Every structure is written in structure tokens, then in C-alpha cells.
Amino acid sequence: TSQVTTGNETTGLAQFLGLNNLLTLNTNYVDYTASPQTSATTALGLAGNLTIDFPGATTVVPYAAGDTLTDIAANITAAMAAQNITASVLNENGKFRLTLTDSDGDNFFITDSSTLVSSLNLHTGKIGAAARVGLRADILANPNLLSTAQLSGAATLTVGEFVLAAGDSTGVTALAEAFTKGQSFAAAGALPVVTSRLAGYAASIVSLNSTQAANYEAQFEIQEGYKEAIKARSSAISDVNIDEEMSTLLVLQNAYQAAARVSQAVSQMMDVLVNIIT
């Protein structure tokens, strides 16, 4: 669904369905992990400072060219003990990965004055969207805040009268009826005018597409048969049989040699005849 811009605000399908007012999206900066390294005890040859920003505090953890992955993990754990942030080196089938975790679940952020972070590819823990999406706290505490009702259009309403009530399910009921009640659909493509439920109409679309796909496949196979037949006939007309042509050539050669001998004999006979006369 395309985005829609209203004034200075750009909204999409989530806003149209009201999901932006229902769901929250939390980004995880509680865990960090690096790419696997070949050794945990070899000096990395990098020097600089890691600045770890924690709510209410900022800590600088220096690292030297002679530090190993194990040294850096130990230095971070020692410097961030008060914030319950620990660093460790995991052995994964002979590869070693640096990880940082806040046991309290608090977000923290890392900046680097040199190239340690980029060299190790240190990044936030990757989690799926399902783990990041949550329900708004006030709606979770009071589900009656969900918009499940429809505004009343009764002519008897008076000023100040409530038109929505907690627990009113008229909106949800109307939505459910839209899926179960027969709907009128105009002709579209090969589908005729019909009155059907949404599920039935969707099934008709799928069935029509399947039938048309089968027909097109059958037509394609027929056309492929025609193509192969034409190709075979063309090949039979244009191809040369080498054995047959060679046999014909030998016959012609023998005939030529025989004719040459006859011509030679006639010439000799004429010479003899001329000599007799003279």
C-alpha cells in the first residue's frame, strides 16, 4: 500500500488501520555481538577507546595494540561492573566471538575512537520484528480502550449523551459480518456478476486462475508439438545424406571412366581406318 502524505505527516497502511496507535516498536540495544575471530589470545594490534554510554553514566574503556579478545572482554567487564554489563568470549567450534550483555535489560550504546568496532563487526543483537513489537502499555492495562464500537447514528441522541460505551462490540460485529454476509460483486474479467461471501469470491478467483493456467499450459504443449513437427520436416528436407551422395558420385565416376575408354577405342579404330585408306 502506498504511503499517503497529509500536511507534513506521511502515513501508510499501519496508520490507516490504526496500528500506529495500538502497537509500539522497541529497538534492542541490550546485547552486542561481534563476528567470529580465529583466535581469542592473539594481539589484535589495535589501540583506542571504547565509549560506553549508559543511562546516567558514560564510561571510557581503553584498549592497546597488545590486547587480545580475552583482554578486551575482561577490561569491559571490570569497567562496567556497576552497570551489570558483562563482556565474554564465546568459543563456537574453534571460532571466538566477543559479546556484551546488560543483565538488567537496559539499553547502552558503544562508540569507538579507532577501528576495533568495525574490525570485529561489533553490532547490536539481531532479533526479529515479532520480538520487537509490543502492545501499548495503557491498552494492555485496560483492553476496553480498544476501538471496538461504532458511533451511534440514532436520531434520539441528545447533546452530552455517550455514543460509545466500554465493551461495546458493534464495530467488531460489523467487521465479522462483512466476512460472513453475502456481498454483491460486479463482473470482472471472466468472473460474472455474483453475490457471494468474501471467502467464496476469493475461492472463485483462485479457481478461475487455476483453470486459465491449465488451459494456457495445454495450449503451450500443443504449440510445442507443432514446432517440433515443423522442425523435423525442415530437417528432413534440408539435411544431406552423405552415404547416398558418395554412392552416387562413385557410380558417376565409373560411368565417366567407361565412356572415356569407349572414346579412346573409337579414336584408335578411326586411326586404323584412315591408314588403310591411305
Pair 187, 201: CB distance under 8 Å:
no
On the CB side of 139, how many CA atoms lie within 13 Å of its CA? 13
Q: Which SS3 state, helix, strand or coil, does residue 191 take?
A: strand
The model's pTM is 0.42
Task: Tell which residue, 169, 171, 193, 168, has the closest CA to residue 182.
Answer: 193
Inter-residue long-range contacts of 271-277, CB under 8 Å, 24+ positions, other chains counted: none
Pair 205, 194: CB distance under 8 Å:
no
Strands 23-25 and 31-33: unpaired
CA 246 to chain centre: 61
Strands 4-6 and 23-25: unpaired
Biggest CA–CA distance in the chain, Å, is 154
Q: Which SS3 state, helix, strand or coil, does residue 50 take?
A: strand
Tens of pLDDT along the chain (278 residues)?
Answer: 344 444 444 455 555 555 556 666 556 678 899 999 999 999 999 999 999 998 788 999 999 999 999 999 999 999 999 999 999 999 998 999 999 999 888 888 999 999 999 999 998 865 555 656 677 777 778 776 666 666 666 666 677 666 666 566 777 777 788 888 888 888 888 888 988 888 888 888 999 889 989 989 999 999 999 988 888 887 776 666 777 888 888 888 888 888 888 888 888 888 777 777 76
